[in-house]
Amino acid sequence: MSMQLYWFVLLPIMIALLGYICTGINRKYLILFSQIIYLVMAVNTLVQVHMTGQLINTLGNYPRGISITLRADAITAVFVLLNVFLFSVMLLFNFHKHYMNKLFLFLFLVLEGLINGIFLSGDLFNLYVLIEVSTIVVSILIMYKRDTQSIYDGMIYLFTNLLSMTFFLFGIGYIYKIFGVLDMQLIKDSMPLVTHSKSLLLPYAFLLTAVGFKSAIMPLFSWLPRAHGTPSAPSIVSAILSGLYVKGGIYLFIRMQDVFQFNIETHQIYIIMGLLTGIFGFVLAVSQDDIKLILAYSTISQIGLILVGVSMKNDYSYWGSMYHIVNHAISKSTLFLAAGIIIETYKTRNIREIRGVFRRMPFIACIIIFAILGITGAPLFGSSISKYYIQKGNLTSNVIEMSLIFINLGTIVTYIKYAAMLFGKSDDTSTMTWNQKLSLSVLASICLLGGVLGPVIINMLFNVSLSVKIGDYLIKSTIYLVSILIGFIFYRYVYKHMGVLKKIRDIELNFNQIVLLIASFFVFQLVYLHMTL
């Protein structure tokens, strides 16, 4: 019995326990050393997956469908590597922070193991348990500094996510009633035997309601800014949540669609939802004045873009979306870490009160420029390649093409507003620790290398070969430059006179309204499936 994949879940939790209960050891050095081991393990797993196609580890000698099974394929192995890498960078970045005590480190490392488990789990019930436990851990991390707003945001996050996972549990119950197993591969293999596809309507609607909520797709995204942008949450928590954890919802969406694809076809409606999510995300982002909320709402917009890509059922768009998950995770983590330093320095989160970052913190300003170029898809940066592939996968629809360009224009306007804080006067200076500079330098370098070596990196990560046509790429680059010009003109001469943005900024849904949206989304899916199946 091989335990290789189980160690990705167990080792972070074991190290967390060791660091919590043992005195007389330097926890931080122990944890950093253990992260190096995890990185080596993750790279080794990725290589093995490329050689064999997938790895399957089964606990005990029980047959499939009964035993706890972990499975790694090309996507899973990359997500685990990304998870371990980002946690390693976050721990290095926060090495000297005063709140990095044994309790915080315990919770943070447990979350790392749980996220690995979510990516690797092969059956639905284990997924449910891992997501529920991780939700509790994330809620505690959001509320860690115990101020009133963070406690409120953390409780909203906890209760709404627990409610959404109740839908997931109902879906699991229906699936077990139909198939008698919860192993996703066995369920997928049994799908052709289902003679009446409408018997799958309820379980699919239950599962996808929960998955839609975890993915923060329109209209189920109102919880995300509260969690990712809450005032006193440590910057590394916001970076992990927005850069990586929310991608777990997209990962679940991919897996659920793969399981049900033989019987249920919903890619068209999810393309529309993805486009709407992308548009609503940037409109809400550009209306904000809080720098962490700008970044949080921007994540929603990028989730919409990813959702469109994975729903277009084309190799270019699909793998472009997978690569965009990686690029967005790196760029957004960089921006959240930099935002944390800016907030500590300026003692405010209001972008209108932050000016002169270039003069006061030139290193941070350069890092932010790299991350902005990365996330907006500037030529030679990572997202330019992933967005190029997503658009290349659109073979028929001019509406989708124009919508994707419009979403990226909205992203550009958002970050033109964000970059305004870099300019202006500031007579003060500030310093950074070596570990912060190293962490941010590594992330910013990847933002650039992800574009320069894009096709090579995609092949290394996902073991697929995708070409880039220079002519098409130059056209996309020209569109980007034109979008920069249009975005600047819009921000300079139109944006500041749009009073409606203030009204949008003031919109905040309470718990009851979020619950109503969850129920409405579930009903919408039922009606749509009844009409199309």
**pLDDT tens, 200-223?**
899 999 999 999 999 989 888 888
pLDDT digit string (tens) for 402-426?
Answer: 999 999 999 999 999 999 999 877 6
User: Dihedral of the CA atoms 337, 339, 345, 348 (nearest 10)?
Assistant: -140
Sign of CA dihedral 143, 146, 149, 151: positive
pLDDT digit string (tens) for 218-260?
Answer: 888 888 887 777 777 788 888 888 888 888 999 999 999 999 9
Tokens of 47: 């290589």
pTM: 0.94
Residues of the chain by 3-state class (helix, strand, coil), percent to 5: 75, 0, 20
Report how far apart the first and last C-alpha atoms of the chain are (Å, whole number). 43
pLDDT digit string (tens) for 283-334?
Answer: 999 988 889 999 999 999 999 999 999 998 888 999 999 999 999 999 999 9
Q: What's the pLDDT score for residue 327?
A: 94
Could you tell me which residue, 503 or 427, shows the higher pLDDT? 503
Enumerate the β-bridge partners of residue 71. Answer: 56
Sign of CA dihedral 157, 160, 166, 172: negative
Contacts of 283 (CB under 8 A, 6+ apart): 410, 504
Q: What's the pLDDT score for residue 224?
A: 83
Contacts of 30-35 with CB under 8 Å at 24 or more apart are 31/91, 31/105, 31/109, 32/88, 32/91, 32/92, 32/95, 35/84, 35/87, 35/88, 35/91
Give the pLDDT mean for 337-360: 90
The greatest distance separating any two alpha carbons of the chain, rounded to the nearest whole angstrom, comes to 73
Picking from 19-23, 40-44, 447-451, which range would have the lowest pLDDT averaged per residue?
19-23
Tokens of 361: 């913190």
- How would DSSP label each residue in 167-208? HHHHHHHHHHHHHS--BHHHHHHHGGG-S-GGGGHHHHHHHH
Could you tell me which residue, 510 or 63, shows the higher pLDDT? 510
Residue 367 has pLDDT above 90, yes or no: yes
Residue 85 has pLDDT above 80, yes or no: yes
Q: What's the pLDDT score for residue 278?
A: 94
- Residue 395 CA to residue 60 CA, distance in Å, equals 47
Domain residue ranges of the chain, discontinuous segments joined by +: 11-265+521-533, 268-497
- Residue 58 CA to residue 86 CA, distance in Å, equals 27
How far are the Cα atoms of 23, 299, 323 from residue 464, in angstroms, in the given order?
Answer: 47, 26, 11
Residue 61 has pLDDT above 90, yes or no: no
> What three-state secondary structure class fits 55?
strand
Contacts of 459 (CB under 8 A, 6+ apart): 465, 466
Residues present in the chain in total: 533
How many whole angstroms from its chain centre is CA 194?
A: 34
Residue 497 has pLDDT above 80, yes or no: no
Tell how strand 55-58 and strand 69-72 pair up: antiparallel
Tokens of 452: 């320069």
Q: What's the pLDDT score for residue 240?
A: 87
Q: What's the pLDDT score for residue 163?
A: 92
- Residue 276 CA to residue 406 CA, distance in Å, equals 11
Could you tell me which residue, 277 or 4, shows the higher pLDDT? 277
Q: What's the pLDDT score for residue 53?
A: 86
- Residue 377 CA to residue 477 CA, distance in Å, equals 9
- Residue 46 CA to residue 38 CA, distance in Å, equals 12
What angle, rounded to 10 degrees, do the helices at 454-462 and 382-392 form? 70
Residue 528 has pLDDT above 60, yes or no: yes
Confidence tier at 2 by pLDDT (50, 70, 90) = low
Confidence tier at 46 by pLDDT (50, 70, 90) = very high
- How would DSSP label each residue in 382-417? HHHHHHHHHHHT--S-HHHHHHHHHHHHHHHHHHHH
Tokens of 200: 């799958």
Give the pLDDT mean for 152-161: 88
Residue 24 has pLDDT above 70, yes or no: no
pLDDT digit string (tens) for 462-478?
Answer: 999 888 889 888 999 99
- Residue 144 CA to residue 390 CA, distance in Å, equals 38
- Residue 249 CA to residue 164 CA, distance in Å, equals 12
Cα–Cα nearest to 530, from 63, 205, 244: 205
